[in-house]
Amino acid sequence: MSFGAEGPSWAISTPHTAATDAGVAAFERGGNALDAALHAAITLTVAYPHMCGVGGDLFALIQRPDGEVLALNASGRSPRGADPEAARTHHPEMPERGPVPVTVPGAVSGWHELHANGAELPWSDAFEAAARLAFDGIEVSHSLADILADPDAPHAADPLLGPLFYPAGAPLPVGATVVQSALGTTLATLAERGPGTLYGGALGAAYAEGLAARGVPVALEDLAAHRATILAPLRAPFGGFHVSVVPPNSQGFTLLEILALADRLGLDADPHGPDAGTLARVVAAAARDRERHLADPDAMLLHPSVLLDDGHLAGIADEIRAGVPDAPAAPATRGDTVALVAADARGWAVSLIQSLFWDFGSGIGEETTGIVAQNRGACFTLQPDHPNAFAPGKLPAHTLMPALVHDERGLAAVAGTMGGYGQPQIDAQTIAHAIVAGRSAADAIAAPRWIIERREPGDAGPLALVEEGLPTPVVDAIASAGFATLPVGRRTEALGHAHLIRLGPGGFDVGSDPRADGGAAAG
């Protein structure tokens, strides 16, 4: 399968060929972009089980044929039985694994909303490819094998994950076949009974009972109370374009800040251009805003419209012009997530992202259902006076952030990436490569990247990961702007994997990231 494709009727890109194939099959059966995205998303739960699943969350942007854009937030809350004081007593920082950071899974509710808002094929059809691969087996991808081979990974000891992925105590290698029968049964159950079986029904009861035995306080009542929401997107101008994202608790506004600041400062937004050093400082400044303010929207002290208004952006721009030092604000890009994009000539388009957060999420797999519990609660802080403080029944600050780009003619691009807190800057780079520098979708995705990360406590200043192949003047400019540069190998997941569709007079130009195991297709 190719990393780039063109076609007049439809396009799709995902990080795994099985998911791309499932999306293509949906198009060929008469489905639209929503059907293709839904089929691909569910297939990814089997093909990339370390990155997404029934136990994770989902965000999406949906464009309808009439031009209306819907922002879908299918993220789950902390359980009502969560105990922040106990967490503070036993942990210096919010735990990243185990029972404490487990939150209510939202992905299945997101699939349902996607289907209910314009999909044309039957709900059950979307599960066929995924269930078949779960029961019959699927080959271990390069991405999954790399995770399994990590000697520090805790997964081998889990009662579900150990027998599946570490038979005889050794991690499965690339190309080995893994059968996920319990997950297959769960997918078949969802196909037959719908999402209600998880959110308050028999499947949810089995999942909650299994979690309780592992010390996780997510109860059936938490599952029954969950609702996905459809919102109006956040939009902001960038050059002659407008970029749309999902509002908080998504970090999407950070991308809008980066692009708006680049405009305000008159920068060449090409990440390989002469202003790369200043762009890196823009990224660090936007990350500081995210760390200070992003939270459950009901807890945020500043509305995102304030963070994007002229006065606020002017203040940040003045600090950058004055050379105010950059504080180490942005957490590492770690985040095991899948993004996918789909569009069709009927006017439907989807940018969808779903995730368990870290590889295999909390590291807790529920044996009877085959569901892996996400660790999205790791995004909370234990600082009690912070808007994102850990509390019962609360949405955590969230990394997932799909994006759409429009111009005066309508939809111009559909974008999405994995990469944890690095997603805004990865999207900014791929959008700029395509929209500003005029590169094809495949070239925009494959272009070498740089990513700003926070250094370890005690280190001075933020760190820039610079991918092999970046032009030397770009690396020098970032270093001159005060960032320590760390070279990383070409096409590693440390720099995320992104997907992009560009729309033009001839139809669709779609690119898939060679850093992943997927491909692009168009027809």
What residues are labeled active site?
Answer: 337
Q: Helix 128-136 crosses helix 181-193 at what angle (to 10 degrees)?
A: 160
Could you write out the DSSP letters of every residue in 226-287?
---EEEPPEEEEETTEEEEEPPTTBTHHHHHHHHHHHHHTT----TTSTTHHHHHHHHHHHH
Q: Is the peptide bond before 375 cis (omega within 30 degrees of 0)?
A: no
Q: Please check whether residue 502 is in contact with residue 442, taking contact to mean a CB–CB distance below 8 angstroms.
A: no
Q: What angle do CA 376, 396, 299 make, to 5 degrees?
A: 175
What would the two tokens of residue 171 be? 């991690």
Q: What is the dihedral of CA 240, 478, 424, 103, to 10 degrees?
A: -170
Cα-to-chain-centroid distance, residue 105:
15
Judged by DSSP in three states, 464 sits in strand
CA distances from 36 to 16, 60, 65, 209 (A): 14, 14, 16, 34
Q: Please check whether residue 204 is in contact with residue 224, taking contact to mean a CB–CB distance below 8 angstroms.
A: yes
Residue 34: phi and psi, rounded to 5, are -65, -45
What would the two tokens of residue 369 be? 């259902």
- Give the burial string for 380-404 (b: 16+ CB within 10 Å, else e): bbbeeebbbbbeeebbbbbbbbbbb
Beta strands 484-488 and 463-467 are parallel
Judged by DSSP in three states, 436 sits in helix
Q: Which residues pair with 11 in a beta bridge?
A: 343, 522
Beta strands 498-504 and 410-417 are antiparallel
* Cβ neighbours of 10 (radius 10 Å): 27
How far apart are alpha carbons 78 and 101 in whole angstroms?
8
Comparing CA positions, the residue from 14, 18, 33 lying closest to residue 523 is 33
Judged by DSSP in three states, 160 sits in coil
